[in-house]
Amino acid sequence: MPAGTCEEDNKIISQEGKLPNLGENAKPHWELVAEKNIIDFELGVKITGAGFPVYRGKGARLQRGLINYFLDKNTAAGYEEIMPPHLVNEASGFGTGQLPDKEGQMYHATEDNLYLIPTAEVPVTNIFRDVIVKKEDFPIKCTAYTPCFRREAGSYGKDVRGLNRLHQFDKVEIVQIQHPDESYKTLDIMVEHVANILRELALPFRILKLCGGDLSFTSALTFDFEVYSAAQDKWLEVSSVSNFESYQSNRLKLRFKDDDKKTKLCHSLNGSSLALPRIMAALLENYQDADGINIPDVLVPYCGFDKI
């Protein structure tokens, strides 16, 4: 398939929110954070390397506020909060499909043969490895905040500047284990849940249904969320919500007993709710004015300030 063909076939199924017009003086987030001293990319290079930013002052508080806000939205929707390990063993990576497919993209602690997690999906879904769940327990809903670690080999250029692509970033994840008959209805509910969060943040967003060539080999159906970043004049992916059907469950041996007493495979689903770097980038850029950066009303109680 020629490069770009599938991406062009990804279908935009909805778009919401008015695109802000900030004028000629709008600045990209990497300039804003340097001026306000709230995220330091150069200090991250000194301590670790490129792609490991240091959040400080109001930048750190805004990041923490976003994490708590996302977790509160998820737990209010019935998700149990989990605090999982940030390293997993080989069996866990295999169970959710990261291994062997993405082995080169994962940070590997070779002496202990452990992998730094690329997403909370991996440890949270592996809670249910080798488990036979009760049918009456469906849906099983979990949410987790973790740092995520990705090598992102081969990512260079202006499109990965600032917060657009990092090696370490924060993300809040939602995971559901569901009866096969209910998984696509659940996928729609999860998509609407993420959309509601973006509506509360008043960020313009669109939802894309991915074509087959852009799906991960583990996913049966994925919807991507993109928010509009005004100063960059581009759409930034902030979430993927996927139904894996029985793919992961088959690897995990995650099963349930149906009414006919036969043991069957569960369906697993997950989504970003939400990934923070590009949400932060869009907030900083879209909410800037001549006096600074405004904070969305819904985040003020979490941050303790309404302007940077």
pLDDT of 1 higher than 50: no
Tell me what pLDDT residue 4 has: 44
Query: 18-22, 84-88, 159-163: which range is least confident on average?
Result: 159-163
pLDDT band at 49 (very low <50, low <70, confident <90, very high): very high
Q: How many CB atoms lie within 10 A of CB 24?
A: 4
Which structural domains are found in the chain, ordered by start? Answer: 5-84+117-303 (3.30.930.10)
Q: Mean per-residue pLDDT for 38-62?
A: 98
Q: Mean per-residue pLDDT for 112-129?
A: 98
Span 143-173, pLDDT tens digits: 999 999 999 875 555 567 899 999 999 999 9
Tell me what pLDDT residue 216 has: 62
**pTM, to two decimals:** 0.93
Span 252-273, pLDDT tens digits: 999 999 988 899 999 999 999 9
